[in-house]
Amino acid sequence: MLIIGLFSGLSVAWLNGAPAPAVQALEQLAAQAQHQAALARHSGQPMGLRWTGKQPEFVRFEQQRWVAQPWRAESWPTQLSASWPASQVPQVVFTAHGVASAASLQWQWAEGRQRWQWLSNDRLVRIDGP
């Protein structure tokens, strides 16, 4: 009985220690943003990040227009929203020379918030808020 109780306690601790879906989604988005910036640097093709009103979307500039790029298999957490307005044009543009212009973004969800700021050298600064 003691062993069963120990395993139950460990299971609950493990479940409580798992990051919230919003935090996991932001981690994945940040990693993909860095990947997109590297692709733009190496290929010379402009890439970008925009907000659809429901989820972030990576785009590539081709044939004089921005084309959406699939990047996430899971759906975006509905409680996680961005301070950007919905747009067909990316708010952050990655180029061969770095971010086209500095940009900032505030993410909000029920349990917290996080501010993102892109610097001209492609560096993404993330600051957790209360």
Q: What is the CATH number of domain 20-129?
A: 3.55.40.10
pLDDT of amino acid 71: 87
pLDDT of amino acid 6: 43
Enumerate the domain spans of the chain.
20-129
pLDDT tens by residue, the chain, 130 residues: 545 544 444 444 445 566 789 999 999 999 999 999 999 999 999 999 999 999 999 999 999 999 999 988 788 999 999 999 999 999 999 999 999 999 999 999 999 999 999 988 878 999 998 7
CB-count exposure of residue 113 (10 Å: 0-12, 13-18, 19+): middle
pLDDT of amino acid 74: 80
Closest residue by Cα to residue 36 from 105, 106, 122, 127: 122
